[in-house]
Chain A
Amino acid sequence: MTTTGSLRDYYLLEARHMPRRAPIAAAIIGGVGVLATHAILVRFPARALHFLELSFDIRGMASILLINDLMAAYFAPFFVGLAGLLGAVVAAREEDQLELLLAKPIHARVLLAARVWPILGAAAASGLAVSLVTAVALVPYLAPGDRVSFAGALGGGLLLTAFALLLLAMLLPLLVRMRDAFHALLVGSLVWLAPLMPSAVLIYRPDVYEVHTSLRSTIVLPTLLWHDATSAWLGPAALVLVLPLCALLVRIAGRVLERSDTR
Chain B
Amino acid sequence: MIRLQWLDYLATLRERKTWLCGAMLLYAVLSIPVILARPPAHVKDAITTWFGDDRPFVLFMYVWIDLAMNKVIAFLPVVLASGIVLRERDLGVLPILAAKPLSMPRYFTLRAISACAVMATLHVGAQLIGLVYFTARVPGFQPATFLAAMTPHLFAAIFATGFSAAIAGWVKHRGASALIGLTVLGLLLGMSLVGFYQPAWRSITLVNPMSLGALALGSLDHLGPAELAPPMFALTLLSIAAIAIGAAGVRRMEA
Q: Contact residues of A with B, CB < 8 Å?
A: 19, 21-22, 26, 29, 33, 40, 43-45, 47-48, 50-51, 54-55, 75, 79-80, 83-84, 86-87, 91, 94-96, 180-183, 185-187, 189-190, 193, 200-201, 203-207
Contacts and interface: CB of A to CB of B under 8 A. Distances in A.
Given A47-B46, A48-B46, A86-B178, 8 more contacts: A22-B176, A22-B179, A83-B178, A83-B179, A91-B174, A180-B15, A185-B79, A189-B79
A185 B50 CA distance: 35
Given A182-B83, A189-B79, A204 B179 contact: no
A86 to B, nearest CB: 6
B128 interface: no
Contacts of A206: 40
7 contacts: A19-B176, A33-B187, A48-B197, A79-B182, A180-B16, A203-B43, A204-B40
A84 B175 contact: yes
Interface in B126-161: none
B67 A200 contact: yes
Contacts of A94: 87, 90-91
A105 to B, nearest CB: 26
B4 interface: no
Interface of B: 15-17, 20-21, 24, 34-40, 42-43, 45-46, 49-50, 63, 67, 71, 75-76, 78-80, 82-83, 87, 90-92, 174-176, 178-179, 182-183, 186-187, 191, 194, 197-198
Contacts of A55: 42-43
A47 B35 contact: no
A83 B176 contact: yes
A183 B20 contact: yes
B175 A86 contact: yes
A205 B37 contact: yes
Nearest first, the 4 A-B pairs at minimum CB distance are A83-B175, A54-B42, A183-B17, A51-B46
